[in-house]
A and B are shown apart, each in its own frame.
Chain A
Amino acid sequence: MNDGDHEQFEAELRKLAPARPPAELMAKLAAARPHARPQPSSVPTGFGLRQSSGAFGLGRADGKRQRAGVVEDAAAPTRSAPLPVSQLATINYQLTWRLLLRWLAPTAAVAAAVAVLVWWPSRHDQRQNGNQGSAAAQPALKADNVEFDQKLVAAFDAVARLPSGQPVRFRCREWADAVVLHDSASGIVVEQRTPRLEVVPVSFETY
């Protein structure tokens, strides 16, 4: 198919005009003419009249053609009657909010989860920093008198045998060690006592 044939065939096709739509459809389309958008008011702003931004307007108020409802086992296809304009506007409003909520609800949940994840660790860090800061703010204890004390609580001997059968004697002593810190400036006395067991093996031969 060369270019000449191509153009000739195209010209033949163009001779055919698309069929005119039915009069009923043309009438409905003619009635669906877009309305003029509201013009801005000539009253200057600042005269006590609040002007709507139109952001939440319902758009066009003319009725939209309703699709014919398909009824199971219907004898003949019928078209439903168009809804009143006020009802269409209400449906349009409800659908708009439903669509908004459908997206807003999950988005808000995700945003809340992200906010908690970001806020909680930062708050935890702040709390830790605050504790460290308060500890650092406390003045250190300055002991001006330190006492060490060792008290002998008990002393006894114990005899045992090694696996080779040789007897061994243990000299055991229980001590109570004490450390006492005095901070006369702040009037604090810190006393710590620690029990200590001292075991010294003694050979019978040396005994």
Chain B
Amino acid sequence: MDESPQQADWRRWLEEHAPKFLLFARQQARSEADAQDLVQEAVMEASQRQNDDRPPPPALVFATVRRRAIDLARREDRRAGRELAAMAPASECWFDTSVEEHELSQLIQSAMSRLPDMYREVITLKVWGGLTFPAIGDTLGIPANTAASRYRYGLQELRRITKEVLA
């Protein structure tokens, strides 16, 4: 069955942006299942806010992922002990890599996991989300200049961590 133009646009938009959303959600959520739920909820909620058929702006989806992750964390805190005990450590690879880059991706993923949240989310949105600093500021609810400075400090910290690991 042939796709309608809107369906084709939607599929292209998903192919381009869904990996970014999932990467960001994985860093916000405590489990892979929660991350996938966050992405789906955020995509649907952001789509509903659109007044037309066009896909929502990625910044809106990122912001929705973050809000829903905060809501989820508040709900889950009440049963965090039981959940965390049953939760398997995250084994999903954050990055899509070839064999040569597999080690690098593991290194970056490990280093990113050790970064403070405020640096990690800005780096993710900037490097892999493709957002501008004003858009990152809107998404995270911080000034654009703060986003820029966090990005710079975060890169320095990330580089320091990767040097430690490589050494």
Contact = CB atoms under 8 A, between A and B. Distances in A.
* A is bound by B: yes
A65 to B, nearest CB: 5
Interface in B47-69: 47-48, 50-53, 55
A22 B33 CA distance: 11
A16 B51 contact: no
B90 to A, nearest CB: 12
Contact of A26 (B7, B18, B97): B18
Interface stretch (A33-41, A179-187, A188-196): A33-41
Contact of B37 (A5, A16, A35, A67): A67
B6 A25 contact: no
Nearest to B32: A22
Contacts of B97: 16-17
A160 B28 CA distance: 106
A35 B14 CA distance: 15
Contacts of B93: 19
A34 B48 contact: yes
A9 B128 CA distance: 14
Interface size class of A (residues with CB under 8 A): 35 or more
A65 B96 contact: no
Interface string B20-64: 101100000000010011011101100110111101000000000
Interface in B111-135: 123, 127-128
A15 B104 CA distance: 10
A64 interface: yes
B interface SS class: helix
Contact of B51 (A18, A28, A32, A37): A37
Nearest to B19: A18
Interface string A53-80: 0000001101011011010100001010
Contact of B53 (A1, A12, A30, A36): A36
Given A21-B18, A21-B22, A72 B39 contact: no
24 contacts: A1-B155, A6-B152, A6-B155, A14-B128, A17-B96, A18-B22, A18-B95, A18-B96, A19-B96, A20-B19, A20-B96, A25-B40, A29-B39, A32-B40, A32-B44, A32-B47, A33-B10, A34-B53, A36-B6, A37-B52, A60-B44, A62-B44, A64-B44, A72-B82
Q: Which 9 A-B pairs have the closest CB atoms?
A: A18-B19, A18-B23, A34-B47, A33-B10, A16-B95, A19-B96, A65-B40, A21-B22, A17-B96
Interface of A: 1, 5-6, 9-10, 12-22, 25-26, 28-30, 32-37, 59-60, 62, 64-65, 67-68, 70, 72, 77, 79
Interface of B: 6-7, 10-11, 14, 18-20, 22-23, 33, 36-37, 39-41, 43-44, 47-48, 50-53, 55, 79, 82-83, 86, 92-97, 101, 104-105, 108, 123, 127-128, 152, 155-156, 158-159
